[in-house]
Structure 1
Amino acid sequence: MPQLIALAFWFAATWLIWRDTRSREGISSALWIPTLWAAILLSRSLSAWLGVGGGAGGVDSQEGSPLDRLFYFASILASIALLIRRRLNWGALLSSNWPLFLVYGYFLVSVVWADSPVVSFKRWFKDIGNVFVALVILTESNPLQAVRAVFVRSAYVLIPLSEIFLRYFPYLGRRYSNHSGGLEPIGVTMQKNSLGALVVVAGLVLVWDWLERATDGRQRMQLPERLWRAGVLLVGVRLLYLCDSKTSILCFVIGLVILLSIRMPGLRSRVSKMGVYSLGAVVVAFMLDQAFGLSEFVVAAMGRDMTFTGRTEVWAVLLGLRTDPLFGTGFYSFWSDEYYLAQLPDWVAFSAHNGYLETYLDGGLFGVLLLSLMLVVLAWRTNRQLGAAGNFALFRFTVLVVTLIANFSESHFFRMSPLAFLLFVSTLDATTHPGRVLRSAGTVLRERAGSMAASPVRRPSGLTEGRPSG
């Protein structure tokens, strides 16, 4: 019976993905490179899927499986080759995204003082591969459709497959927790927090794509597709409940509220002020927390205490190790440095469970300063485009808010994380040809408005919008 269910699932998922490929215009077959990349980030490594590694010639404790290294290296090289073929304007790319490449440049220099410079450099190269693969998506003829296609196809497969693993193949879908010792649901991922991240990233893009297609008469979904999507979202909600990842639940709810807000007439007309409202909400929340202990009330309502499941204890231990306060230990070097590992208690896992603290460990205060600069620039650009760059600007805002929140209790910044990849996909400014920056959604709409003023051509659908630029 389980085998028949799995077989029926694969037939259904394959058919729906086939229909999805036929329904989207302006997408090349090269998009399967970032689709596979995203699917791996959203689930588990290629070696884990194939059940290889371990033993002689298997997984290296510092560099991972040879098969995984080959996959990442080949994907990055293929992406770079595609970008060269598409005549990407590298100079304009660096100019448009200078805060991001400033951080990556600093982390590249930091490998010099890492415990193992060679290993640190390899990790840096793999991480910046997220940027190159994201650019493959953004240099498609229709980047907006390409972004949605990558994550929708991943959601079609990975979320239902997680439920199948949990129900019918528990040896694949569950594992014993290192924290509690009990069984925890992991689905197609490697741990429960990753399962929550899968639902947040794939689920939010699925909702966004559904909202976009619902307003386009040319791309309205047939009943089987609508039923499958509804089922995937319901399964995703169930997975969030089972994995009990409070951060993921909070991020999914907040992201959903922001995405649905544009459907409300009263809020749609004020979407350009979303950034101002958000800043005001943060200030009010801070004042309420100082006056009435709001954060403690919220955390208690979510079934947690103020240690955030022991995270504050981990943070205190890591800060007490006295790493270099200015420059850190080098990119992704702390967790392989025997000097620091020898000082850690056994109960500290190989993660700071905080993206901001992880950046401090890697690059010190200087790294945190550059990260803060990057986030401020992204927030400023996103706020400037709200209301003028179509629905994509609101999605970009959603991803930024979710990323900022998620990094308070998990490490996503400059890690091989699906949320980090989605952040790059939604915020990078790309170039396609020398001297021409990939047009943003707002630019496309303004150009069309001008052309309609000159001729009575009917305005095309918003689904042909591009990606907002800075």
Structure 2
Amino acid sequence: MALTVISCFTLSIKNSDRGSRLLGQIGLAAAIGTVILSTSKTGLIVSLLILAILIAYRFYQWKGKETILFLDLSAMALASTAVVVFSFWNPIMYGLGRDPTLTGRTLIWEIVIQKIWQKPLLGYGVSAFWATGSPYAVEVGINVANDYIPPHSHNGFLELALSIGLVGLTLFVVDFCQSYGLALQLAYKAKESSKIWPFAFLSFLLIYNMTESILMRLATIFWVVYVATSISLKLKKQ
């Protein structure tokens, strides 16, 4: 649903067709309402973060040095916020009445990282680690909670390292950084919504995979969309 929010927002801000803009605005309102009613905190947070990024992009587009200054200040603010949050993680979470383990996610990550280093180069194979009857998945589950086997790592980047190793993860990071740079360039000079889409989608993919695993998952379309977006950006560069 967070992806629907992003799609409708991009459709509503850069489109010469008034009907399409109106459709995007109606879809955006409906999508945000659905996210709120679903009580999905991850979906709501991701939607709000991406909307904030896109609104900031709209404000600083075509402003040259002001854009560079904004990006520098944003990077500094994010880095400072990250340092404070990680330094005082437990007090902050307890103060908000939340579980510091993110509903067991940090416990899963700790064990998954240990498992990654046991087969660091090529990993365990796509979806093999969490396959039905896998002793690795059972071991992770025992360390998290009784009678519970996690379906995935709850982190897309750790999931890639499990599936295709650090070699595959490195190749993905290189490709993602290249694609994101091209998407930023395309969005900066965009005059239509289709040119904002790659930037919006890649931002969503980066943020959402911090707490969920949607990279190279067989039951989702996100990997297909990522590959298509990455290839289209590189073709436009040529």
TM range (shorter): 0.7 to 0.9
Q: Could you report, residue by residue, the CA deviation over 1:5-40 in whole angstroms, capped at 9, with x for unpaired residues? A: xxxxxxxxxxxxxxxxxxxxxxxxxxxxxxxxxxxx
The answer to whether 1:237 aligns with 2:32 is yes
Q: Which of 44, 47, 52 is residue 252 of structure 1 equivalent to? A: 47
Distance 1:289-1:429 versus aligned 2 partners, 3 A rule: closer
Q: Which amino acid aligns with 1:284?
A: A
Cα pair 2:129 2:163 within 8 Å, conserved: yes
Q: Is the 8 A contact 1:325 1:364 kept in 2?
A: yes
Change over 3 Å in CA distance of 1:363–1:271 after alignment to 2: farther
The alignment status of 1:366 with 2:142, answered yes or no, reads no
Partner residue of 1:307? 101
Tell whether the 8 Å contact from 2:85 to 2:92 is kept in structure 1 after alignment.
no
SS of 2:29 mapped into structure 1: helix
Q: TM-score normalised to the size of structure 1? A: 0.42
Partner of 2:74: 281
Q: Whole-Å Cα distance in 2 between the matches of residues 253 and 205 of structure 1?
A: 13
The answer to whether 1:319 aligns with 2:120 is no
Structure 2: how far apart are the matches of 1:334 and 1:253? 33
SS in 1 for 2:4: helix
Partners of 2:186 and 2:168 in 1: how far apart? 27
Partner of 2:18: 220
SS in 2 for 1:221: helix
Q: SS at the partner of 1:343?
A: helix
Matches within 5 A, 1:409-420: 409-415=211-217, 416-420=219-223
Residue 377 to residue 302, structure 1, CA distance change in 2 (3 Å) = farther
Q: Is the 8 A contact 1:200 1:248 kept in 2?
A: yes
- Structure 2 portions without partners, runs of 5+: none
Superposed CA offset, 1:92-122 (max 9, x none): xxxxxxxxxxxxxxxxxxxxxxxxxxxxxxx
**Number of the residue aligned with 1:375:** 176
Deviations 1:356-407, CA, capped at 9 Å, x for gaps: 1101111222122112111121123223334335444433222212211110
User: What is aligned with 2:63?
Assistant: 270
Write out aligned runs for 1:383-394 (5 A).
383-391=184-192, 392-394=194-196
Q: Is the 8 A contact 1:208 1:395 kept in 2?
A: yes
Deviation at 1:352, TM superposition (A): 0.7
TM-score in terms of structure 2 length: 0.76
- State the one-letter code of the partner of 2:128: S
Specify whether residues 279 and 323 from structure 1 end up closer, same or farther in structure 2 by C-alpha distance, changes over 3 A only.
Answer: farther
Does structure 2 retain, via aligned residues, the 8 Å contact 1:274–1:383?
no
Q: Offset of 1:309 from its aligned partner?
A: 1.8
Matching residue's letter, 1:361: L
Q: CA deviation at 1:409?
A: 0.2
The structural deviation recorded for 1:277 is 4.4
Deviation at 1:410, TM superposition (A): 0.4
Task: Report the identity percentage.
Answer: 20
Distance 1:359 1:310 in 2: 20
> Displacement, 1:328?
0.7
In 2, the alpha carbon distance for the partners of 1:328 and 1:244 equals: 35
When Rg is computed on C-alpha atoms for both structures, the one with the higher figure is: 1
The answer to whether the 8 A contact 1:359-1:413 is kept is: yes
Matches within 5 A, 1:23-42: none
Q: Deviations along 1:429-469, whole A, 9 cap, x unmatched?
A: 289xxxxx5xx4xxxxxxxxxxxxxxxxxxxxxxxxxxxx4
Alignment of 1:97-246 (within 5 A): 199-213=1-15, 216=16, 219-221=17-19, 226=22, 230-246=25-41
In structure 2, relative to structure 1, the CA distance for the partners of 1:347 and 1:254 (3 Å cut) is same
Q: What is the aligned counterpart of 1:347 among 148, 153, 166?
A: 148
Is the 1:333–1:362 contact (alpha carbons within 8 Å) kept by the matching residues of 2? yes
Aligned length: 228
**What is the distance in 2 between the residues matched to 1:428 and 1:290?**
35
Structure-1 residue corresponding to 2:124: 329
Partner of residue 403, structure 1:
205
Question: Equivalent residue for 1:194?
Answer: none
Distance in 2 separating the partners of 1:425 and 1:204: 17
CA 1:233–1:338 in structure 2 vs 1: closer, same or farther (change >3 Å)? same
C-alpha contact 1:353 1:410 (8 A) present in aligned 2: yes
